[in-house]
Amino acid sequence: MPNNNNGYPSSLSAWTTVVILMVAYVLSFIDRQILNLLVEPIRRDLVISDTQMSLLMGLSFALFYTICGIPLGRLADTRSRRGLIAIGVLFWSAATAACGMAKLYWQFLICRIGVGVGEAALSPAAYSLIADSFPAERRATAISVYSMGVYLGSGIAFLLGGLVIQFASAQGDLVLPVLGEVRPWQLIFLILGAAGVLFTLLMLAVREPVRRGVGAGVAVPLAEVGRYIRSNRRTVLCHNFGFAGLAFAGYGSAAWIPSFFIRTYGWDAGQVGIVYGSIVAVFGCLGIVCGGRLADRLVKRGHSDANMRVGLIAALGALPLVVLFPLMGNALWASILLAPTVFFLSMPFGVAPAAIQEIMPNSMRGQASAIYLFVITLIGLGIGPTAVALVTDFVFADDKALRYSLLIVTTLAVLASVVLLWMSLKPYRESLLRLQQWVPAQAADTSLAQPKIA
């Protein structure tokens, strides 16, 4: 039932959509991040090297996630977004379950590619759905609540990983009907895959909102999408690469913080999973929701560039923390400083996609979101973890120097983000004005072709 807010869906319907989409995002990030704490048992059973394992953790997933995201983003602009998400969830859940049945490295690699392809369908369609369900002054908060799935999912993945390791040491292998003997790490992939398949039933509760805003309902040729993005290239480049720097710092540190605690302070993997997983789940969610609320408050005060301002505030807040936490003399202080670090690094990832929705015509939102996800995922997930490893291996050549690799890589990335996000403020305001003047090429041609009445 519509409310009296300019024809947007009712608050109940809109927030139901957000919560369901957030659960999908949680599932996707559990599937994506669970490998970080299961390195040793998977390496042992598949007989693979660190380099092969790193391809499973990052590049194999990120490459296909980003490549498939752009055509799937275009589908989100022209087809049923709910249906696209449901198909994507089914696909990545089946691929996750298949990871649990892989016996050889190449089988696992193909399954991880499948997870990346399926997950590429989610966020461009979800951002578009949410943008059409909420007015502008509530949009950043709504997208931030959806984006909490990143931190809930990552936190749960670390917690699950820690519990699986503890369970494995106590129980050993299991025997399942049909599948026979499975390792504990295989069981977790099978459970996650089954949970995803069941989740698709929840998508029936999502209603497709009416597409609204500039360009709503207009099928825009790909060439025109390219022209419009090029006309906003300063905004798009500063936005995408500015937030990518924070993703680089976030993914790069997240991949190696468990090893940092193990190598530097002598913790075991189960202990790291529980402590770090709790920090990520709690402070990641707090950060991303606070970022969205702050942006919406700034919009009400008349700041049209509110989403970009919040990104800049987050980068400035994170900068001293990424320098300090790796240098702490004991694990307690490192854990305490990690909490605000995770808070600030999570703040931008609700407002970043919200900013894209604000500057793009409705008929280009999915595609622009996919390009944004392409950049931050390839740079953040695809390169971030490897950059930390390269500094450890080739600059210090000492596993114990991981703390300094984390400090150097994350500090440089956050510094770059501060510069780029500061540079983005003026071009972003110009892009908002440009959107109001945009007319689809077909509409312009039609208006020119109309006969003039004397």
pLDDT at 386: 82
Please tell me the total count of domains within the chain: 1
- Which residues share a beta bridge with 174? 182
Q: What is the DSSP letter of 379?
A: I
- Which residues share a beta bridge with 181? 175
pLDDT at 126: 93
Would residue 371 count as lying in a domain? yes
Residue 93: give its domain's CATH number.
1.20.1250.20
Residue with tokens 């996630």: 65
Q: What is the DSSP letter of 139?
A: H
Would residue 356 count as lying in a domain? yes
State the angle between helix axes of 348-359 and 365-376 in degrees (0 to 180), rounded to the nearest 10: 140
- Identity (one letter) of the amino acid at 146? Y
Would residue 162 count as lying in a domain? yes
Domain housing 398: 11-208+222-436
Tokens found for residue 308 = 């970009």
Would residue 6 count as lying in a domain? no
Would residue 250 count as lying in a domain? yes
DSSP secondary structure letters along 215-257: TTT----HHHHHHHHHHTHHHHHHHHHHHHHHHHHHHHHHHHH
Would residue 21 count as lying in a domain? yes
Answering whether pTM is above 0.95, one says no
Length of the chain: 454
Would residue 447 count as lying in a domain? no
Written as tens digits, the pLDDT of the chain (454 aa) is 444 456 788 889 999 999 999 999 999 988 877 777 677 778 888 888 766 777 787 777 888 888 888 899 889 888 899 999 999 999 999 999 999 888 888 899 999 999 999 999 999 999 999 999 998 888 999 999 999 988 888 888 878 767 766 766 566 667 677 677 778 778 888 888 999 999 999 988 888 898 887 666 666 788 888 899 999 999 999 999 999 999 999 988 988 898 899 889 999 877 888 899 899 989 999 999 999 999 999 999 999 999 999 999 999 999 999 999 999 999 999 999 999 999 999 999 989 999 999 999 988 888 898 899 889 988 988 888 888 888 888 899 888 899 999 999 999 999 999 999 999 999 999 999 999 888 776 554 444 344 443 3
Tell me how crowded residue 169 is: count the other CB atoms within 10 A of its CB: 11
Tokens found for residue 46 = 């598949």
Residues 6 or more apart whose CB falls under 8 angstroms from that of 261 comprise 267, 271, 272, 275, 276, 331, 334
Tokens found for residue 315 = 């980068």
CA–CA separation, 281 and 212 (whole Å): 34
Would residue 2 count as lying in a domain? no
pLDDT at 3: 46
pLDDT at 2: 43
